[in-house]
Amino acid sequence: MVSSIGAGNNTLGDAPPKAAAVNKKAEKREIAKAKILNATLNLIADKGLASLSHRSIASAAGVQLAMTTYYFGTIDNILVAAFREFYKSMEPINAELVSEGDALLARSQGPDGALTDRDQYIQGVAEIFGSMIDAGPGSRLRQIRIESQFLFEQHASEALAEEIQSYNDWLADIALRFIQPIGGNNPSLDAQLFLWTVQCLEFSSVSSFSMKGASSRDALLRLLRGFCV
């Protein structure tokens, strides 16, 4: 017979003490890992990939030095996890970009699905991307700095290189959504050229070089019209 002493102390649905302790430990682990990854991305944005070490990351994250090794093992593992966090942060930004492109295409198509005015559509694409770039990095400054550091990394591990390639493939697919309706002879190549140009123009905001004598919109418009030749 079960003793009634202490009966009713735990309400229905309360986790047992052991389970609660495990959950608390897991929560602390996730908080520590998030601090480490956020600190890594901040260091990359402010000082570049060359600034990273277990010590610099732990110091920036405000955690014990051993925790970076305990949770991630190597710097390469931290970089892969940090890049995935960066990738995730870009999803809502690019979703909005795709939404603008879909709306532009819907306005530009006739009942048969063909463009009613190809040059007007091209001007619309140049306006969307040109406005994004010429408005200045603003709140995206951190992301542009991080992206440029990763994409120009010359000594990426195999795992990180695969993550970066996946990210670039995603961007190329987005670019193709904008370029395909133009109807050039090689839309996949055109989309890649368009993506590289957009990235170059964006990265100029965090580098020592810039384009002289034209806006980003003008440069993109010239490139896009060239796809029709």
Residue 170 has, within 13 A of its CA and on its CB side, a CA count of 14
3 state DSSP class of 30: helix
- For residue 12, what are its two tokens? 């229905």
Segment among 11-15, 59-63, 94-98, 193-197 with least mean pLDDT = 11-15
Provide the whole-model pTM: 0.84
**Confidence band for 207, pLDDT divided at 50, 70 and 90:** confident
Residues 6 or more apart in contact with residue 166 via CB below 8 angstroms: 87
**Confidence band for 48, pLDDT divided at 50, 70 and 90:** very high
CATH of segment(s) 17-72? 1.10.10.60
How does pLDDT run across 138-174, given as a tens digit for each residue?
668 889 999 999 999 989 999 999 999 999 999 999 9
Opening angle at CA 175, ends 171 and 176, nearest 5: 115
**Average per-residue pLDDT for the chain:** 88
- The pLDDT of residue 20 is above 70: no
CA distance 58 to 26: 19
Q: What are the beta bridge partners of residue 109?
A: 115
Torsion of CA 18, 24, 26, 30, to 10 degrees: 180
SS (H, E, C) 61-121: HCCCHHHHHHHHCCHHHHHHHHHHHHHHHHHHHHHHHHHHHHHHHHHHECCCCCECCHHHH
Structure-token match 């463009």, residue found: 115
Top CATH class of 80-226 equals: mainly alpha
* Size (the chain), residues: 229
Domain ranges of the chain: 17-72, 80-226
How does pLDDT run across 79-138, given as a tens digit for each residue?
999 999 999 999 999 999 999 999 999 999 999 988 999 999 999 999 999 988 877 656
How many percent of the chain have pLDDT more than 90?
Answer: 70
The neighbour count for residue 50, using CB atoms within 10 Å, is 9
- The pLDDT of residue 6 is above 70: no
The neighbour count for residue 172, using CB atoms within 10 Å, is 16
**Surface-to-core class of residue 77, CB atoms within 10 Å of its CB (0-12 exposed, 13-18 middle, 19+ buried):** middle
